[in-house]
Amino acid sequence: MSADLSRLLNALGLVAIGTVLALAFVDQVWFRDLPCGQCILQRAGFFAAGFGIALNVIFGPKPSHYGIAILGAMAGGAISLYQTLMYIVPGTGSYGNAIFGLHLYTWAFFAFALTIIGCAIMMLDDRQFARTAPMSARLRVLPLSALLLFMALVVANIFSTVALCGGGLCPANPADYIMFAASPV
Amino acid sequence: MMSLPFLFFACGLGAAWLSHRGVAMGFWFVGLVAMLVLFRVHVTEVLNIAL
């Protein structure tokens, strides 16, 4: 696999992670399914994992970038696994809406696992690490779009989290945005 | 406080965009540590499961 092809595949991976994060926003804004503290940390986990993939897109594929993506996905996966185990016993409740029968934290765990598997598979081909020449101009549209989407989403998450939680920790079961809630008279 | 990991990752992406790879990786590391510390703060109960 050439470095250019690897960059394109990494850009597709970044689009996939960006899509997951964008869908989380749709669920939050459209369906008023406000994220809990751990849900927000799982979003941060997607950014931690996507960061390594973004480095692959910007600087070219390197084993250290895949390592960053795998470590980020492991951290995010640990958080989603904890939340899944919290509610795994029937009758112990759940958090948020179920999508196709599974809650978002369970889907998040699968997505983190897929990220790790994807990175491991990508690392199997050593030829991509041989050359780090600048990417040819005709291949730049998708990587640039993926990067801009990823950057826009991280900025949007900063504002969303501040609006939801203010300057402190997020409530376990938020009812409204702290910044927009009517202050008691 | 909960937005800190996002802030660090955003700074890291900005640094990467400006071709400062080492700085970007530093921001990523700080963001990851902030994320794990916040997770520890949020874990308030022991899982009630038997493995």
Question: Would you say residue A145 lies in a domain?
Answer: yes
Whole-prediction pTM value?
0.90
Are residues A174 and A34 in contact, defined by beta-carbon separation less than 8 angstroms?
yes
- Per-residue model confidence (pLDDT) at position A31: 86
Are residues A42 and B3 in contact, defined by beta-carbon separation less than 8 angstroms?
no
Residue B36: list chain A partners with CB under 8 A.
Answer: 75
Q: What is the 3-state secondary structure (H, E, C) of A79-137?
A: HHHHHHHHCCCCCCCCCCCEECCEEHHHHHHHHHHHHHHHHHHHHCCHHHHCCCCCCCH
Question: Would you say residue B47 lies in a domain?
Answer: no
Q: What is the 3-state secondary structure (H, E, C) of A10-61?
A: HHHHHHHHHHHHHHHHHHHHCCCCCCCHHHHHHHHHHHHHHHHHHHHHHHCC
Domain span at A100: 3-165
- Per-residue model confidence (pLDDT) at position B27: 96
Question: Would you say residue A182 lies in a domain?
Answer: no
* Chain A: residues touching B (Cβ < 8 Å): 37-38, 40-41, 43-45, 47-48, 51-52, 54-55, 58-59, 64, 68, 71-72, 75, 78-79, 82, 85-86, 88-89, 92, 147, 150-151, 154-155, 157-158, 161-162, 165, 167-170, 172
Question: Would you say residue A171 lies in a domain?
Answer: no
* pLDDT band (50, 70, 90) for residue A185: very low
**How many domains is chain A partitioned into structurally?**
1
- Per-residue model confidence (pLDDT) at position A131: 67
- Per-residue model confidence (pLDDT) at position A134: 66
Question: Would you say residue B34 lies in a domain?
Answer: yes
- Per-residue model confidence (pLDDT) at position A71: 97
Contacts of B24 (CB under 8 A, 6+ apart): A51, A55, B12, B13, B15, B16
Domain span at B20: 4-42
Q: Which of A89, A157, A158 sits opposite B49 (nearest CB)?
A: A89
Summarised one tens digit per residue, pLDDT across range A39-83 is 999 999 999 999 999 999 999 899 999 999 999 999 999 999 999
For the domain that residue A104 is a member of, what is the CATH number? 1.20.1550
**Which is more confident, B51 or A49?**
A49
Question: Would you say residue A175 lies in a domain?
Answer: no
Best of B42, B43, B48 to disrupt the A interface by mutation (most A CBs within 10 Å)? B42
Range with lowest mean pLDDT among A114-128, A165-179, B29-43 = A165-179
**How many domains is chain B partitioned into structurally?**
1
